[in-house]
Structure 1
Amino acid sequence: MKKLTLFFLSLLACGLAFQACDNTKTYAEMLEDEKDAIKAFIRDSSITVISQTEFYRNDSTTDVNKNEYVQLASGVYMQIINKGSTNLADTVKANDQILVRFSEYSLMDKVVTVSNLDYAEVVDEFNYRVTSSSIAGQFTQGFMLSYYGTSVPAGWLVPLAYVRDGACVKLIVPSKMGHSSAMQSVYPYYYYIQKYQIYK
């Protein structure tokens, strides 16, 4: 009986030791870390967040001088620096090829992770697809294709409803609207999209 008691106490001690060494975070904890990283970036960057109601009231624009970003229903924060072409017909349409100049910054690691801004010979390109129920993008060339695969982050597609050819935006993209790696790691990213250009 004494050996059996000792055996169970040993098992309990081992179990507690393994539990104490387990640093794996739950998905809920990772989401909380993501939320905290986004809040810290907004605070540290002196960003003024406006509602969608204010955004629409201001003709779907953000005041760059006030460092305004609109928080959209998708969870994406967007600042429109330049809406692009003044020709209202220059909107992005289904099956358009879009060329993008950008940089990606990890809000968790606080470092630029991918950028084509310093490479004149490199441009990222994706095909914009629209169905009756959804929109999507598929990379056909560039750094994002090499790093993350063919799927365009959903957060990159959000601005296309508000801008035209040649637009420039800044985005804070939560993991659920990001690329596959962002979703897997629950990492939010900040993007400076220097230009969305329709390839003609």
Structure 2
Amino acid sequence: MKKLTLFFLSLLAFGLGFQACDDGKTYAEMLDEEKDGINDFIKKEGIKVISQSEFYAQDSTTNVEENEYVQLASGVYMQIVDKGSENAADTVKNNDEVLVRFMEYSILDKDTTLSNLNAVETVDAFRYAVTSSSIAGTFLQGYMMTYYSSPTVPAGWLVPLTYVRDMAHVKLIVPSKMGHQTAMQYVYPYFYDIRKYQIWK
């Protein structure tokens, strides 16, 4: 009798474990949820999405009054609020240290998760690196590195640096594949208001 009871209890535990696994979302389902979340955010914020060809035809700018964002090949949506310095030479170059003022908003949670906009004594800083085949950023200090326990700058943060100069202001919708490690792990998209990319000299 004890063996029979043990068998049924084992069967019940296995069934519950199988059911728990069945409740988990697949990666494809999480990607669909992410896409729906981004589309809902775009609709809610009244964003006008333009193509890269339209963006280039406008001298690589977005019309802020019309709330334009360009959808780039990386999947990042970008609005250039202010290109920054009038001096065309004031671009971010290899090994530059860049200071950043930002706000991070979780699109799926509909909540601000991180911001240093009001942190007078704290600014996020990263080292920009360019090779023949890639670009990368490594945090040197700040909230992002501390909160997410990683020195890796989200790839989405680096995308605008091709189009802007010192002291630029951009807004970004960053899909998980271009985000930080946590975004990639949980398939979470984030919105960023990056108020300042300042080249530290």
- Whether TM exceeds 0.5 here: the answer is yes
Measure the CA separation in 1 of the matches of 2:163 and 2:132.
Answer: 19
**Number of the residue aligned with 1:128:** 128
Letter in 2 for 1:195: K
Q: Following TM superposition, by how much is the alpha carbon of 1:21 offset from its aligned partner in structure 2, in angstroms?
A: 3.9
**Residue pairs, 1:51-130, within 5 angstroms:** 51-130=51-130
Measure the CA separation in 2 of the matches of 1:124 and 1:117.
Answer: 10
Q: Following TM superposition, by how much is the alpha carbon of 1:146 offset from its aligned partner in structure 2, in angstroms?
A: 0.2
Taking structure 1 as the reference length, the TM-score comes to 0.92
Q: Following TM superposition, by how much is the alpha carbon of 1:127 offset from its aligned partner in structure 2, in angstroms?
A: 0.2
**Residue pairs, 1:36-55, within 5 angstroms:** 36-55=36-55
Going from structure 1 to structure 2, the CA distance change for 1:14 and 1:141 (only over 3 Å counts) comes to closer
Q: Following TM superposition, by how much is the alpha carbon of 1:118 offset from its aligned partner in structure 2, in angstroms?
A: 1.0
**Number of the residue aligned with 1:190:** 191
1:24 aligns with 2:18: no
Measure the CA separation in 2 of the matches of 1:198 and 1:103.
Answer: 19
Measure the CA separation in 1 of the matches of 2:129 and 2:93.
Answer: 8
Measure the CA separation in 2 of the matches of 1:181 and 1:191.
Answer: 15
Letter in 1 for 2:88: L
Measure the CA separation in 2 of the matches of 1:28 and 1:97.
Answer: 37
Measure the CA separation in 2 of the matches of 1:152 and 1:20.
Answer: 38
Q: Following TM superposition, by how much is the alpha carbon of 1:17 offset from its aligned partner in structure 2, in angstroms?
A: 5.0
Letter in 1 for 2:129: R
Taking structure 2 as the reference length, the TM-score comes to 0.91
**Number of the residue aligned with 1:178:** 179
The count of corresponding residues between Structure 1 and Structure 2 is: 193
Q: Deviations over 1:132-187 (max 9, x none)?
A: 11000000000011012100000000000000000000000000000001000100
Letter in 1 for 2:183: A
Unaligned runs of 5+ in 1: none
Measure the CA separation in 2 of the matches of 1:14 and 1:90.
Answer: 63
Letter in 2 for 1:43: K
Q: Following TM superposition, by how much is the alpha carbon of 1:192 offset from its aligned partner in structure 2, in angstroms?
A: 0.1
Q: Following TM superposition, by how much is the alpha carbon of 1:199 offset from its aligned partner in structure 2, in angstroms?
A: 0.1
Query: Secondary structure at 2:32's aligned position in 1?
Result: helix
Measure the CA separation in 2 of the matches of 1:130 and 1:18.
Answer: 48
How much identity, in percent, do the aligned residues show? 66
**Residue pairs, 1:160-171, within 5 angstroms:** 160-171=161-172
Q: Following TM superposition, by how much is the alpha carbon of 1:129 offset from its aligned partner in structure 2, in angstroms?
A: 0.4
Q: Deviations over 1:39-71 (max 9, x none)?
A: 000000000000000000000000000000000
Measure the CA separation in 2 of the matches of 1:119 and 1:17.
Answer: 48
Measure the CA separation in 2 of the matches of 1:77 and 1:35.
Answer: 13
**Number of the residue aligned with 1:140:** 140
Calculate the aligned-residue CA RMSD, in Å: 1.6
Q: Following TM superposition, by how much is the alpha carbon of 1:16 offset from its aligned partner in structure 2, in angstroms?
A: 5.6
Unaligned runs of 5+ in 2: none
